[in-house]
């Protein structure tokens, strides 16, 4: 009962922020990073991480003091075993539930501070501009890949993921827009799988080539694609194949020699 009341309380707080959207000039970016169990099979299941970031638009009220709370709605994930990052202020929420009567089985993730109490920058979700903060992580089963969803209740307004920032005096205000992105780590050509065909994209992102910042290469969520991501990319490129294609060897060493040379490069690409 307490868990349900807490979820309702925090969700109500977030929803109450919605009418004040015109006072907020910054956006909230939610990014869902997917890590395939099999690099060659995008339906193999795997692990996911949810990240949040303030997108500073440079005008109006800003969210530089942090995120007051958020409600992320995600389809096709395992609703159990979800873990959360960090402590929140007393009575803050870090909970999940499968939305009742939702045919898509949407999982609601609520994370944030109790806005009826004092909110302090650095407590809860404190996400500075250009830097993602880990919110939650979990897994998804073999089958359809995770996507951001909605509450899909035909008799009520349909709500998407939402959230608000901490503003002056500890007050909260809603983000102008909620931006959502689903990223498959290591997948630069957007096929849902990871292969040698993605290596050119990684090199371009690493050296500041024609491609702008590509979150598929930002394994450590630093806001840049840099040499510190290379080890993770190589591990992903040489990772396990699905059973259906395991008998067909794929030369995954192409480009690995160049990674040694790239270690001498100091280029970074800002988000």
Q: Which domain holds residue 171?
A: 2-183
Instruction: Provide the residue-wise pLDDT of the chain in tens; the chain has 271 residues.
Output: 334 433 444 444 443 443 344 455 688 889 999 988 888 888 989 999 999 888 877 766 666 667 778 899 999 999 999 998 765 665 667 888 898 766 668 999 988 866 566 655 544 455 555 568 888 999 999 999 999 998 876 666 678 888 877 665 556 677 888 899 999 988 998 888 888 999 999 888 888 765 567 888 888 877 788 889 999 889 888 877 654 333 333 333 333 333 333 332 333 334 4
Same domain, 131 and 12: yes
Does one domain contain both 198 and 144? no
Is there a single domain that holds both residue 52 and residue 83? yes
Whether residues 130 and 232 fall in one domain: no
- Clarify whether residues 19 and 36 are in a common domain: yes
Read off the CATH number of the domain in which 29 is found.
Answer: 2.60.40.680
**46 and 179 belong to one structural domain:** yes
Coil/strand/helix, residue 93: strand
Same-domain pairing of 40 and 86: yes
161 and 36 share one domain: yes
- Whether 53 and 179 share a structural domain: yes
Last residue of a domain, one of 168, 183, 198: 183
**Residues 24 and 154 placed together within one structural domain of the fold:** yes
DSSP assignment string, 113-179: --TTS---TTSSB---TT--EEEEEEEE-SSSPPEE-----TTS-----EEEEE-GGG-EEE-S-EE
141 contact partners, CB below 8 Å, separation of at least 6: 45, 78
The rounded distance, in Å, linking the Cα atoms of 130 and 96 is: 27
pLDDT score recorded for residue 262: 37
* Sole residue written with tokens 């045919």: 103
Decide: 84 and 124 in contact? Cβ < 8 Å: no
**Number of domains making up the chain:** 2
- Residues 143, 237, single domain; the answer is no
Burial 89-128 (b: 16+ CB within 10 A, else e): eeebbbbbeebeebebebbbbbbbbbbeeebeeebbbbbb
Q: What is the pLDDT of residue 20?
A: 42
């Amino acid at each position: 009962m307490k868990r349900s009341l807490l979820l309702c309380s925090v969700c109500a707080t977030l929803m109450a922020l919605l009418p004040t959207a015109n006072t907020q000039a910054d956006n909230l970016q939610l990014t869902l990073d997917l890590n395939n169990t099999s690099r060659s099979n995008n339906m193999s299941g795997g692990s996911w991480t949810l990240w949040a970031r303030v997108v500073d638009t440079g005008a109006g009220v800003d969210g530089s003091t942090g995120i007051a709370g958020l409600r992320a709605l995600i389809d096709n994930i395992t609703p159990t075993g979800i873990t959360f990052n960090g402590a929140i202020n007393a009575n803050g929420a870090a909970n999940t539930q499968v939305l009742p009567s939702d045919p898509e089985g949407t999982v609601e993730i609520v994370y944030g501070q109790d806005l009826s109490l004092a909110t302090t920058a650095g407590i809860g979700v404190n996400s500075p501009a250009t830097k993602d903060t880990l919110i939650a992580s979990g897994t998804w089963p073999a089958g359809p890949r995770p996507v951001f969803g909605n509450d899909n209740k035909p008799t009520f307004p349909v709500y998407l993921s939402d959230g608000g920032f901490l503003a002056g005096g500890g007050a909260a205000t809603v983000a102008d827009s909620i931006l959502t992105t689903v990223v498959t780590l290591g997948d630069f050509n957007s096929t849902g799988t990871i292969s040698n065909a993605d290596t050119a994209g990684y090199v371009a992102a690493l050296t500041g080539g024609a491609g702008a910042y590509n979150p598929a290469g930002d394994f450590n969520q630093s806001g840049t694609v840099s040499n510190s991501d290379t080890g993770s990319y190589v591990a992903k490129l040489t990772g396990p194949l699905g059973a259906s294609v395991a008998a067909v060897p794929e030369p995954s060493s192409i480009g690995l020699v160049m990674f040694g040379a790239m270690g001498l490069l100091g280029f970074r690409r800002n988000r």
